[in-house]
Amino acid sequence: MILDGQLPNAIATAAQTLQRGELLGLPTETVYGLAADAGNDAAVAKIFEAKGRPANHPLIVHVASAQEVTRFASAIPDFAQRLMDAFWPGPLTLILPRRPEVAAAAAGGQNSVGVRCPSHATARAVLQAAQALGVYGVAAPSANLFGRVSPTTAAHVADEFGDGLLIVDGGACEVGIESTIVDCTRGVPILLRPGVFTPEQLGQACGVSVVTPDTPQADAPRASGTLESHYAPAAQVQLMSAADLQTAINAQAPAAGRVAVWSRSPLQVPFSMAARFNLQPMPESATDCAHQLFAQLRSFDAQGVAHIWVEHPPHTPEWDGVRDRLTRAAAPTR
């Protein structure tokens, strides 16, 4: 059931749902989450079951304010504190050493825990109301089946989990791709998942340069968002340069199926091929593109296309998050 987040009782109903140990579709500024009380292992188990996600893949714990972090984290390095000061509330997740007595199931058994304080007004209101009921952290992975495209509207969440799930409608997610994840358990900040913040922005804010997969000494641990194939629509995704896209259109390949083309560059479709190709303009800015990305992939799937051809995003840092999601969507098999 989709509940309008603006209705007077929506926040209270959502908070009570979490307190009862039930699942909730929660809007955030990045993507919608499938939420449960992080302190209730049975509730957290329902998340893994509903998503079909392996129970050793850790979840992010969402908190109402930075003050709540020490309920979950046993230590906060100075650089992590500076990241929180600079970017919270907002689309940044920090991996911190976990207090052994809390949130073991949510953390997938790891001795670390991912924590994030979201900025979405409805998310914050739900987290605050839940906290007043004794729910101090809310575990929430993206509200999609494991390996599939993340949801950025309440309707997307209902498409994934059906009408039985209570979903708070907070509108279309502003950011559109998942939070930037920085591992703060290894002495220096390590970028685990790119999002809207560039490594340079993060490094400037915390005074320590951020280790990225491009850094030669990088030793980044495995995370489910880093599985090669992830965020995959049903149609086959391919990334190409504008020139290669035009060549492929002219060559009339592939043999079967309709093709959606998402590009910033203008392309020409021969008149005889007009029914086969659906050309959609890709936004010029990385933030607009991130905002549209998952809804666009879902919409192409809904049109029943067999292939989605996407123009390579520019190779600049502000496109890292979009490029990462598209590259994974294009990875061959799950």
CA angle 9, 15, 17 (to 5 degrees): 100
Total residues contacting ligand TXA (rule CB under 6 A)? 28
What's the burial of 327, exposed, middle or buried (CB within 10 Å: 0-12/13-18/19+)?
A: middle
Asked if 176 touches ligand TXA (CB under 6 A), the answer is: no
Taking the C-alpha atoms of residue 158 and residue 146, their distance in angstroms, rounded to an integer, is: 15
Q: Contacting ligand TXA (CB under 6 A), which of 110, 201, 204, 236?
A: 110
User: Based on CB atoms, which residue is closest to ligand TXA, 10 or 181?
Assistant: 181
Segment interacting with ligand TXA, rule: CB under 6 A, options 6-14, 27-35, 200-208, 321-329: 27-35
Query: Nearest approach, Cβ of 53 to Mg ion (angstroms)?
Result: 9
- Token pair 């059906």 is at which residue? 162
User: Based on CB atoms, which residue is closest to ligand TXA, 15 or 31?
Assistant: 31
270-298: b (≥16 Cβ within 10 Å) or e: eeeeeebbbbeebbeebbebbbbbbbbbb
**Beta-carbon neighbour count of residue 312 at 10 Å?**
17
Asked if 142 touches ligand TXA (CB under 6 A), the answer is: yes
Q: Contacting ligand TXA (CB under 6 A), which of 107, 249, 259, 326?
A: 107
User: Based on CB atoms, which residue is closest to ligand TXA, 117 or 235?
Assistant: 117
Q: How would you classify the pairing of strands 236-240 and 307-311?
A: parallel
SS3 125: helix
- The site map against ligand TXA for 181-220 (x = CB under 6 A) is x----------xx---------------------------
Query: Nearest approach, Cβ of 191 to Mg ion (angstroms)?
Result: 17
Asked if 28 touches ligand TXA (CB under 6 A), the answer is: yes
User: Based on CB atoms, which residue is closest to ligand TXA, 193 or 276?
Assistant: 193
Taking the C-alpha atoms of residue 151 and residue 14, their distance in angstroms, rounded to an integer, is: 19
Asked if 122 touches ligand TXA (CB under 6 A), the answer is: no
In one-letter notation, the amino acid at residue 320 is: D
User: Based on CB atoms, which residue is closest to ligand TXA, 220 or 306?
Assistant: 220
Asked if 112 touches ligand TXA (CB under 6 A), the answer is: yes
Among 11, 241, 37, residue whose Cα is nearest residue 125: 11
- The conformational region for residue 323 under phi > 0 = left, psi -120 to 50 = alpha, else beta, is alpha
Taking the C-alpha atoms of residue 156 and residue 159, their distance in angstroms, rounded to an integer, is: 5
Q: Contacting ligand TXA (CB under 6 A), which of 11, 14, 95, 210?
A: 95
Cβ-Cβ contacts under 8 Å for 243 (sequence gap 6 or more)? none
Q: Contacting ligand TXA (CB under 6 A), which of 140, 167, 232, 322?
A: 140
Residue 181: contacted member of ligand TXA, Mg ion, none (CB under 5 to 8 Å, by partner type): ligand TXA
Residue 113: contacted member of Mg ion, ligand TXA, none (CB under 5 to 8 Å, by partner type): ligand TXA
Taking the C-alpha atoms of residue 37 and residue 180, their distance in angstroms, rounded to an integer, is: 22
- Contact residues for ligand TXA (CB under 6 A)? 28, 30-31, 33, 57-60, 91, 93, 95, 107, 110, 112-114, 116, 140-142, 178-179, 181, 192-193, 223-225
